[in-house]
Amino acid sequence: MMASRVFIGVVLVAGVAAAQSLDFQAYRAKVEPIFLKKREGHARCVVCHSANNSAFRLEPPPSAGQTWSEDQSRKNFASVSKLVRPGNPMASPLLKHPLAPEAGGDIFHNGGRQFTSQDDPDFKAVAEWIRSASAK
């Protein structure tokens, strides 16, 4: 029981540290809109991740043509930050899970491969946001 409490504490501290070093404004402008995009052959990220998903939970999607409020974006940012290893995109589950294994991803995403290549412009945008956190 004590070991699980320690592990949970480490995860929470890591999430807080990640959120403190990541740029919220860059997230809101460049990363968050990707979760609303429809990718051919896939549901939008927000469709599955605004449902009952404990690992990566987004606020319910805004109405068509709108964006999340700042409060909703901050909640999304807190959830996303738990899946980021600042300065290290390829160690970040946020990028590894939806990336095809043959492109360097892992097997831990039930929602399909949103990215088939690390050259995908959206993949690059998220990777750059994560990479830039190391300078803070």
Q: What is the mean pLDDT of the chain?
A: 83
H or E segment and range at residue 9: helix 2-21
Q: What is the pLDDT of residue 134?
A: 75
Predicted confidence band at 10 (pLDDT cuts at 50, 70, 90)? very low
Task: Say if residue 84's pLDDT is above 50.
Answer: yes
Contact criterion met (CB below 8 Å) for 77 and 27: yes
Q: What is the pLDDT of residue 65?
A: 72
Among 56-60, 63-67, 108-112, 123-127, where is mean pLDDT lowest? 108-112
Q: How confident is the model at residue 18 (pLDDT cuts 50, 70, 90)?
A: low
pLDDT confidence tier of residue 71, bands split at 50, 70 and 90: very high
Whole-number pLDDT of residue 14: 46
Q: What is the mean pLDDT of residues 74-88?
A: 96
35 φ/ψ angles, rounded to the nearest 5 degrees: -70, -15
- How confident is the model at residue 20, as a pLDDT? 62
- pTM, full prediction: 0.80
